[in-house]
Structure 1
Amino acid sequence: MKKTDLANYIENVNKLTKITEPDVPYIFDKLELPDYNQPIPIITRELWTARQRQAHSLHEISYRACFKPQLPRFFISRLTTESQVVYDPFAGRGTTALEAAFLGRKFISNDINPLSKILTQPRLLPPSITSISDRLKTIPKKPSQPAINHLDMFYHKDTFDEILALREYFLNKEKSNSLDGIDSWIRMVATNRLTGHSPGFFSVYTLPPNQATSIEGQIKINEKYKQRPEYKNTYDIIIKKSRSLLSSEIQEHERVNLDRARKSAIFLTKDARNTPEIESESVALTVTSPPFLDIVQYAEDNWLRCWFNGLDANEIGKNISTPSSIEVWQAVMKAVFLELYRISIFGGHVAFEVGEVRRGRVQMENLVMPIAISAGFQPVGVLLNEQVFTKTSHIWGVENNSGGTNTNRIVLLKKP
């Protein structure tokens, strides 16, 4: 390495370490790209998890491929100031949005799947357990018209009637534009409790709640476990989950921040490559995790949640990009980065959480860096957070160091 290159490398490392705690051990490495004239620093260390506060209970909404709340908090707290705008173009369950709100930032949340807003917005105005309970008492436990239980592989008939009654109630409320914050909260919790692998869900034992199996798949699960759906009291389950979500104390300043963020929040259901609703040079920080090639089928996972909310999962699925080839994925992400460059303020950052896929054969930072640079961004570095192994990390093909740790990989960029 030339002396000037080494000086630039050390300078970049110093810039990167300013957002880390000096007493935590780390490992330096570098990423060298053929068409970029200086090495890009890579730092591996524990950045959050054990060293940060426990995530707020309001985050505990199941969604496929979501990252820990500590990840966006790490970057939001270090790279933005109060009232600046934080953006997530692939918002999912709304982790970035909620953390931005807690920290007194404005946010823009975008996801091609309308479920994202349904799962995120109600948590900005948490109701009391008493108000939830009182509202549930006003909702019928049977639909207005008798219906055949076409989901009897998932639900007992009486449970299915209660689910249909809830669905009918929410769809009518939405149609009449009278869905308030308490209704939205109950709908969000019910959506989250539709299926799962514990007694705390409406369904018989099935896949984890972030993956709804097909009707055929559930029939096979029932045969395997010799099980039949038993009655589940949806009212009790909604109350129990609400208590869990509200179990962390919300400090007064956090409640004020949540309400302020709610009033200024922008929720979009757009292709992340084309978001004209977002003003140019308005976003201080983007924190996101994009769809990874064809690994996760978001529409298939959410078909039951979509049905409950009157959404067409097939139509939504047509608009979700899950490219099967690296070349197509890069083309899609390049267009996303061009849009992120347009909306970012000068000096603003992008924290792009990527992963190892195809059993570690593809490290996504090697794909992301060239297209981000071509869009105009300056690489700050790659942060690798080592954390305790998680049950779903095998989805990404991470080897996890013999099953002991799992690594978040974040490409950090700056608009110069």
Structure 2
Amino acid sequence: MPEIFNIPTLQDYLKNYRSRDEVCLNDFFGKNSDIESYSGQTLVSEISGVKTYTNSFWTAKQRQASSIHEISYRACFKPQLPRFFIEMLTDEGDIVYDPFTGRGTTVIEAALLKRNIISNDINPLSKILCKPRLNPPLYDEIKNRLEIIEKEREELSSFSLSMFYHPKTESEIVSLKNYLEKKRANGKEDNTDQWIRMTATNRLTGHSPGFFSVYTLPPNQAVSKESQIKINEKKGQSPEYRDTTALILKKSRQLLKDITAAKINTLKSAGEKAIYLTEDAAKTKSIPSDSVSLTVTSPPFLNIVQYASDNWLRCWFNSLDAKEIGKNITMEGTTFGWCSAMEKVFYELFRITKPFGWVAFEVGEVRNKSVFLDEHVIPLGKSAGFECAAVLINEQNFTKTSNIWGISNKKRGTNTNRVVIFQKKS
């Protein structure tokens, strides 16, 4: 289908798309039930002269997403989003790219679907979180390596992070940090070490006993030391001992629970050919022109998410300079500034996209729905040379039915993504 998929074909597909939610609802209530509020039909409208299609094109339960995705990362989309576009617009072997990779949702989903991948993110933490899952070790390999690390563990007494960790837990974290740093410095850090680094990085802070830290803000949104002290005082808590080895193994088991030998081979096949970049998304000279079949991405949204400050503790663990990283990340405070930065990205995307290739640019809804970035993105893509094919609004929009479940429409019952779809015609 992608070989002959053009804009009219795409528009017709979206217009006549039969939501899987409709199928589920009809199966549950009966085909002749009175579900007046939700028919599963696509709502067609227009934004800035571009056709807009609203439906439940994907939901969290549409497909069971792979367990390998379960790495917490702020402001990431669900795996079902890139899968929808990858399946619709590419064939096996095509190149799928994400210029703002984050935790790696797009590239990992593309790898699972046997596409070739290019990953880019100016934040080096992205590669740390992404690459190991494209070359996953076996559980027993992780377990054996952790046993070796335990035997070599240093007994340390550093309490600079005592507001987050029990002294013994902190000693284990610092010892693991030192071990991984030595392996990397000696050029001996293999895929099992990288997996352990990724998993430990993901477990540093959180709000349950599954993390190394005492209760803090949601996963991997590390507050400052001063703020954590206040949280501890308010909750009357002090850090309890957390067994870092046991928690790394537990998380590894969760990540690998549905990764069969066949899936490991599929991921490794993509990982061996993968390109990992840490470049400005507007300056990716190492990507050949006219090479990418599909880009699926979600860029930083204005200055809503403070990526660098949220990741200071992750950067410390991985011996990275959070302040220097923060200087390079696009965090524009105004719509005008954001558009200026994204305009350069679109020109670069046009260069690397092959003729009749696609870009799916997810922009969500920001500032409590007072700013709709899709309206700003459309002219940016057109200016770069793309033809805007559609704006796709994925929305779980139940009214009468949702009331049965006690969910109010456009509140907890609504999960919205706004994706602007472009095609390069020549």
Displacement of 1:80 in angstroms is 0.7
- Contact 1:12 1:40 (C-alpha < 8 Å) held by counterparts: no
* Structure-2 residue corresponding to 1:6: none
- Contact 1:283 1:343 (C-alpha < 8 Å) held by counterparts: yes
Write the distance in 2 (CA, Å) between the matches of 1:388 and 1:262: 37
Write the distance in 2 (CA, Å) between the matches of 1:19 and 1:147: 60
The correspondence for 1:76, drawn from 86, 94, 98, is 86
Write the distance in 2 (CA, Å) between the matches of 1:367 and 1:61: 31
- Contact 1:142 1:162 (C-alpha < 8 Å) held by counterparts: no
Displacement of 1:51 in angstroms is 6.4
Counterparts of 1:336-351 in structure 2 under 5 Å? 336-351=345-360
- Contact 2:68 2:259 (C-alpha < 8 Å) held by counterparts: no
Write the distance in 2 (CA, Å) between the matches of 1:123 and 1:318: 28
The correspondence for 2:323, drawn from 311, 314, 338, is 314
- Contact 2:156 2:174 (C-alpha < 8 Å) held by counterparts: no
| Aligned: 1:335 with 2:351 | no
The correspondence for 2:10, drawn from 15, 35, 46, is 15
Displacement of 1:235 in angstroms is 0.7
The correspondence for 1:31, drawn from 47, 62, 68, is 47
Counterparts of 1:259-338 in structure 2 under 5 Å? 259-338=268-347
- Contact 1:87 1:287 (C-alpha < 8 Å) held by counterparts: yes
- Contact 2:54 2:392 (C-alpha < 8 Å) held by counterparts: yes
Write the distance in 2 (CA, Å) between the matches of 1:50 and 1:192: 22
Write the distance in 1 (CA, Å) between the matches of 2:230 and 2:312: 18
The correspondence for 1:139, drawn from 149, 161, 166, is 149
Q: For each residue in 1:63-104, what CA deviation from the matched residue of structure 2 results, as whole angstroms up to 9, or x when unmatched?
A: 010000010011011101111110000000000110110011
Cα 1:188–1:150 shift into 2, 3 Å? same
- Contact 1:400 1:407 (C-alpha < 8 Å) held by counterparts: no
* Structure-2 residue corresponding to 1:210: 220
* Structure-2 residue corresponding to 1:165: 175
Displacement of 1:360 in angstroms is 1.1
- Contact 1:143 1:164 (C-alpha < 8 Å) held by counterparts: no
- Contact 1:400 1:406 (C-alpha < 8 Å) held by counterparts: no
The correspondence for 1:192, drawn from 190, 202, 205, is 202
Counterpart residue type for residue 201 of structure 2: T
The correspondence for 2:97, drawn from 73, 81, 87, is 87
Counterpart residue type for residue 11 of structure 2: L
Counterparts of 1:358-377 in structure 2 under 5 Å? 358-377=367-386
- Contact 1:13 1:41 (C-alpha < 8 Å) held by counterparts: no
TM-score by length of 1: 0.90
Counterparts of 1:48-59 in structure 2 under 5 Å? 48-49=58-59, 52-59=62-69
Of 238-247 and 49-58, deviating more is: 49-58
Of 332-341 and 179-188, deviating more is: 179-188
Other structure's SS at 2:221 match: coil
- Contact 1:143 1:161 (C-alpha < 8 Å) held by counterparts: no
Write the distance in 2 (CA, Å) between the matches of 1:297 and 1:177: 32
Percent identity at matched positions? 55
| Aligned: 1:125 with 2:120 | no
Other structure's SS at 2:132 match: helix
Write the distance in 1 (CA, Å) between the matches of 2:240 and 2:84: 43
Cα 1:27–1:82 shift into 2, 3 Å? same
* Structure-1 residue corresponding to 2:26: none
Task: In structure 2, list runs of 5 or more residues that go unmatched.
Answer: 1-5, 20-40, 399-407
Cα 1:281–1:234 shift into 2, 3 Å? same
- Contact 1:142 1:164 (C-alpha < 8 Å) held by counterparts: no
Displacement of 1:353 in angstroms is 0.3
Other structure's SS at 1:351 match: strand
Cα 1:142–1:349 shift into 2, 3 Å? same
Other structure's SS at 1:362 match: coil
The correspondence for 1:151, drawn from 152, 161, 179, is 161
Displacement of 1:121 in angstroms is 0.7
Cα 1:42–1:19 shift into 2, 3 Å? closer
Counterpart residue type for residue 247 of structure 1: K
- Contact 1:143 1:168 (C-alpha < 8 Å) held by counterparts: no
Aligned residues: 390
Write the distance in 1 (CA, Å) between the matches of 2:207 and 2:60: 27
* Structure-1 residue corresponding to 2:266: 257
Cα 1:161–1:300 shift into 2, 3 Å? same
Write the distance in 1 (CA, Å) between the matches of 2:204 and 2:104: 19
Write the distance in 2 (CA, Å) between the matches of 1:141 and 1:360: 53
- Contact 1:141 1:165 (C-alpha < 8 Å) held by counterparts: no
Displacement of 1:148 in angstroms is 2.2
Cα 1:251–1:69 shift into 2, 3 Å? farther
- Contact 1:12 1:41 (C-alpha < 8 Å) held by counterparts: no
Other structure's SS at 1:172 match: helix
Write the distance in 1 (CA, Å) between the matches of 2:14 and 2:189: 42
Other structure's SS at 2:216 match: coil
Write the distance in 2 (CA, Å) between the matches of 1:383 and 1:373: 17
* Structure-2 residue corresponding to 1:395: none
Counterpart residue type for residue 177 of structure 1: G
> How big is the alpha-carbon RMSD for the aligned residues of Structure 1 and Structure 2?
1.9
Write the distance in 1 (CA, Å) between the matches of 2:238 and 2:13: 57
Write the distance in 1 (CA, Å) between the matches of 2:252 and 2:260: 14
| Aligned: 1:241 with 2:283 | no
Displacement of 1:249 in angstroms is 3.9
Displacement of 1:131 in angstroms is 1.3
Counterpart residue type for residue 151 of structure 1: L
Displacement of 1:19 in angstroms is 5.5
Write the distance in 1 (CA, Å) between the matches of 2:223 and 2:397: 27
Task: In structure 1, list runs of 5 or more residues that go unmatched.
Answer: 1-10, 33-38, 390-398
Write the distance in 2 (CA, Å) between the matches of 1:251 and 1:65: 31
